[in-house]
């Protein structure tokens, strides 16, 4: 079983904490979180969001806080 300690991933090279975005499907309302690319208008490294814990886990996974991307 994996330990949650020291499993912080580097933010992908072409992205920053400011690029993290949550999107919601128009049809199903399903939410995903990932790094948004303005160049191709897509989320990359996207993960399904079922609860607020999933959002927190995504930020923790990349070692950033939810406030770090806000201006």
Nearest C-alpha neighbor of 47 from the set 15, 22, 27, 13: 22
Mean pLDDT calculated for residue range 44-71? 90
Mean pLDDT calculated for residue range 17-41? 96
pTM, two decimals, is 0.83
Q: What is the pLDDT of residues 43-52, one digit of tens each?
A: 999 999 999 9
Nearest C-alpha neighbor of 33 from the set 4, 56, 9, 8: 56
Q: Please give the pLDDT value at position 7.
A: 86
More confident call, 68 vs 71? 68
């Amino acid at each position: 079983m994996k330990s949650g300690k020291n499993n912080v991933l580097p933010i992908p090279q072409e992205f920053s904490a400011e690029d993290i975005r949550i999107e919601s499907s128009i049809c199903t309302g399903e939410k995903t979180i990932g790094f948004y690319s303005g160049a191709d208008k897509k989320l990359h490294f996207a993960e399904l969001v079922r609860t607020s814990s999933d959002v927190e886990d995504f930020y923790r996974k990349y070692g950033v806080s939810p406030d770090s991307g806000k201006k």
